[in-house]
Chains A and B, each alone.
Chain A
């Protein structure tokens, strides 16, 4: 590399690294380390973290169970319907989460197009833990479906021809060949979806509210703490940072690249 390109590319690259890394360093520098453990275990922190873990892993499970078949169907067809469906499915990806929360209220809320019928049976979804999972799934599923569909499209279609002539139905091919071969794609899709769910704020607070122990996830708890006790917010943030790094690290070792 010439000096010119070193400066021309290296300068912006260094700034990019600073933009990304500096806030993380700041978080670590400003933490009141004597308090971190107390902040996390006392108060609402531990409740919020537990709720976050329960809801994000439920979301990941939901993506796996519902999103994998969808990704499979999308990967196998190229019709007009599929292309439109794929475009529509990516809307939650770009939608401001708060708008997503409003849309969810219009669907599952007491007067929502589905919720009004549930109310008749005494079932109310908004402001429950179920609502948190629905909100997180709404924002996270597209990441999962797109990642897994991409991996499935990467499979050599001739493998299926071979498997079929050997006597495998399309479902057996999916189970015994396609799924084992896209495990890395499924893992990175899960990691993406889980991370997105963990950070979910806007749709959750709009649709599920901010009830301690029921719908107040860790990001909501951080936000609330910041209003009253910035040091406690920092402690919780460090905890979230740690959890994210650990979970992604576990996945990265095996599958995520």
Chain B
């Protein structure tokens, strides 16, 4: 068997969505799929599971063809595991029987199936809850049982659709850790759909952004963090992103209006990013070295822990992240007019 775990092109229509997405992954890899709602993430997962039929394309997992023109394996004929936002445990079965359901359905006799289920529950730290009914489990425990259930059939492809999104923040953090630990010794391909950047950055080896039914960017988390290529991706990684035309001296003319100067020129069509941390706010026009300075108006302020995200409009759209002390000192509030500056060394440009 080759290392090639997943080779898929998914073409289908669902309502107004036209989906055409290609995915490849090595065995053991965790592929994070991100994208705005309605962009095709869940349809991609359901197509891989065999719940939604393909109109075009193919799905090949670990060397065996699950679907291509004219032939289609039913979900029960695919070595696939599925976990959704709600744990969706079978409410009338004990945790142990939920996990044993897969092996039993695939022909394993009752006794070995229970032994396997007990082992899977142990691996997610729930051995002592084997006899619990789903209603007696907390949401985090139910999610871990759902994960154990999905893995108890030794799937070649594990599909996780927003597995943590139904959990409260504290439970989510702990379950994320459990999930990461369990995925580390899973040797199949994992496809993780999420809209939470933290899930994607901490769990995935590679990220695939799906917007409007097509793949808009693929890369490792580090690559994507460094060089986002769509406004959505930039929002996810928390950067200001501009499409621009650069001259050879580092002067950038933004497609949406405005000018930026970078210390590291890349001539031609470029993307330019500015970290919100690099934006400095001032009462008056700043003196000194900053080559990028604009008069701005505050359109929105949101708090995030010890800092504040300030949305600014002016010659360009800009998000700044400043300390709460600066918010107080500069009296930052919606409608306030002030100056924003960014050093040229904090503006990064790369080819579009």
Contacts and interface: CB of A to CB of B under 8 A. Distances in A.
Interface stretch (A41-49, A109-117, A130-138, A174-182): A174-182
B14 to A, nearest CB: 15
A180 B92 contact: yes
A162 B88 contact: yes
A172 B102 CA distance: 11
A159 B75 contact: no
A177 B80 CA distance: 19
A167 interface: yes
Interface string B61-76: 0000000000000111
B237 to A, nearest CB: 31
Interface in B43-85: 46, 49-51, 74-76, 78, 80-82, 84
Contacts of B78: 165
Interface in A139-169: 156, 158-159, 161-169
A162 B84 contact: yes
Interface string A192-210: 0000000000000000000
Main secondary structure of the interface of A (DSSP, over half): helix
Contacts of B105: 163, 166-169, 172
Contacts of B76: 164-169
Nearest to B51: A161
Contact of B101 (A156, A161, A166, A180): A166
A164 B75 contact: yes
Contact of A165 (B82, B90, B91): B82
Contact of A162 (B82, B91, B92): B82
A161 B85 CA distance: 13
A163 B46 contact: no
Contacts of A176: 90, 101
A171 B46 CA distance: 20
B27 interface: no
Given A158-B88, A177-B90, A181-B91, A165 B80 contact: yes
Given A158-B86, A172-B105, A176-B101, A165 B81 contact: yes
Contacts of B80: 165
A181 B88 CA distance: 13
A222 B101 CA distance: 53
A161 B81 CA distance: 10
A159 to B, nearest CB: 6
Contacts of B194: none
Contacts of B106: 166-167
Contacts of A165: 49-51, 75-76, 78, 80-82, 150, 159
Given A180-B92, A181-B92, A167 B153 contact: yes
B297 interface: no
B149 interface: yes
Nearest to B48: A165
Nearest to A164: B75
Contacts of A177: 90, 92
B282 to A, nearest CB: 53
Most buried by A among B46, B49, B51, B149: B51
A166 B84 contact: no
Contacts of A169: 76, 105
B346 to A, nearest CB: 46
A164 B51 contact: yes
A225 to B, nearest CB: 47
Interface string B91-102: 110000000011
B27 to A, nearest CB: 19
Nearest to A181: B92
A158 B78 CA distance: 17
Nearest to B90: A177
A167 B51 contact: no
Most buried by A among B46, B81, B90, B92: B90
A159 B146 CA distance: 12
Most buried by B among A156, A165, A177: A165
Contacts of A168: 76, 101, 105
Nearest to B108: A167
A193 B108 CA distance: 40
Contacts of B50: 164-165
A217 B150 CA distance: 55
Closest 10 CB pairs of A and B: A167-B105, A166-B102, A164-B75, A167-B106, A165-B82, A168-B105, A180-B92, A165-B75, A161-B51, A167-B76
6 contacts: A156-B88, A165-B50, A165-B76, A165-B80, A165-B159, A168-B105
Interface of A: 156, 158-159, 161-169, 172, 176-177, 180-181
Given A164-B74, A165-B78, A166-B105, 20 more contacts: A158-B88, A161-B46, A161-B49, A161-B82, A162-B82, A162-B88, A163-B90, A163-B105, A164-B50, A164-B75, A165-B49, A165-B50, A166-B76, A166-B106, A166-B149, A166-B153, A167-B76, A167-B106, A172-B105, A181-B91
